[in-house]
Amino acid sequence: MRKVISAVAAFTTVATAVVTMSGTAQAGAAGDDTVYGCRSGNVCIWAQGVEPFNDPHPTVQYSSYGYHNLSNQYGEHAVLNNQYGGATASLCYNYGGTNCYETLDQDDWTYENLTPVNSITLNRP
């Protein structure tokens, strides 16, 4: 019986992590929700190949609107838009926040090859 309860608990934990990572879970009110180390109001990037639920320490957190040029970001990375109020974030091929190709809505996740990405923008709602 104890093994069954442990298995159910493990399954529940994994299922919760999958739902959270799929973007169906929503960040809470401004200022009080940290998601896998990403502070509320920020857009975060984790290290190459890192699963945020296994290592909740983003390597980069952006908090101000406008463009942010990237450096030394190669390969697959988890990116989270943990902003609030309907703010979006865009991934852009060029420096300076131009030639953007993907926009993340509030609370959206993506796993993205950042090798061709040179900037990210935080966009006002």
CATH number at residue 42: 2.60.20
Q: What is the pLDDT of residues 95-119, one digit of tens each?
A: 999 999 999 999 999 999 999 999 9
DSSP letter, residue 3? H
What is the span of the domain harbouring residue 115?
Answer: 27-123
Count up the domains in the chain and report the number: 1
Residue 115 in any domain: the answer is yes
Give the pLDDT of residue 33. 87
Residue 14 in any domain: the answer is no
Burial 55-82 (b: 16+ CB within 10 A, else e): eeebebebeeeebbebeebeeebbbbbb
Task: Give the pLDDT mean for 48-71.
Answer: 97
Residue 64 in any domain: the answer is yes
Residue 95 in any domain: the answer is yes
Residue 1 in any domain: the answer is no
Residue 32 in any domain: the answer is yes
Confidence of residue 32 (pLDDT cuts 50, 70, 90): low
Global confidence as pTM: 0.74
Residue 101 in any domain: the answer is yes
